[in-house]
Amino acid sequence: MVAPGEPANKSEYVRTMFTRIAHRYDLMNALMTGGRHHAWRRMTADTLRAAPAGPVLDLATGTGDLALAIRRARPADTVVGADFSEGMLREAAAKLGRRGERRVPLVAADALALPFRDRTFAAVTSAFLLRNLADLSRGIAEMRRVTKPGGLVVTLEITRPRIPGWDGLFGFYFHRIVPAVGSVVAGDRAAYAYLPDSVDRFVSPQGLADLMRRTGLGDVHYRRLGLGTIALHVGVA
């Protein structure tokens, strides 16, 4: 069943949307967050220091920023970047090529049906993926499936801060300013109107933690970043 306000075919809608905006994705991230998105990705990568040795899978790798941060945090390990948007994979390949990075192979893959064997990776990460999934439970189950026992599943996601006063200001910025900037900079108001709407529809950080536990992950915990607008979740497979 499609949730109220969601596209009828969410997977195809999201794939097409991200391919459309791939050429301005990095610029829009920098403008929307004041450049803080790099720090959040570094924090995500730093959590993997507690994971066992071995390859890491970065889902919805986009233009490759989190995969690159993980490579810096774990220089001995290969990081596989996976995405189902052809446009994003092209941007990632170009970025990796400019930086001479050969230990980040890129794979076209759907997060709901990963083309990897069980227990393949020491850790699986995602940044700003989960609210875009047509089936959140299935996506988390797939992340757990391909993670080795004792490995980590780590997610970074936008959330409403739910702090009186600040939540209203954030909502105004997110629903009014961001789509306007997206229209001018990316030429795609619809994509940047979908963004705040998808955040509003998404589960709370506590709700996501509970779902991760129900999916079989242990020691699930999270912390808020960005004045409460970002949630970083960690679970053990």
Categorize the per-residue pLDDT at 6 as very low, low, confident or very high, splitting at 50, 70 and 90.
Answer: confident
pLDDT at residue 8, as a whole number = 77
Per-residue pLDDT of 94-118, as tens digits, reads 999 999 998 999 999 999 999 999 9
What is the distance between the terminal CA atoms of the chain, rounded to a whole angstrom?
29
Q: Is the pLDDT of residue 138 over 70?
A: yes
Contacts of 136 (CB under 8 A, 6+ apart): 130, 203, 211
pLDDT at residue 34, as a whole number = 95
Closest to 67 measured CA to CA, from 127, 16, 116, 110: 127
Strands 230-236 and 147-158: antiparallel
Q: Is the pLDDT of residue 43 over 70?
A: yes
Mean pLDDT of 184-194: 97
Domain ranges of the chain: 22-158+203-236
- The CB density around residue 25, as the number of other CB atoms within 10 Å, is 20
Cα distance between residue 68 and residue 72, in whole Å: 6
pLDDT at residue 5, as a whole number = 64
pLDDT at residue 1, as a whole number = 43
Contacts of 44 (CB under 8 A, 6+ apart): 66, 69, 125, 127, 154, 156, 232
CATH 3.40.50.150 fits 22-158+203-236, yes or no: yes
Cα distance between residue 209 and residue 41, in whole Å: 19
Find the helix or strand (DSSP H, E) in which 32 lies: helix 25-33
Q: Is the pLDDT of residue 4 over 70?
A: no
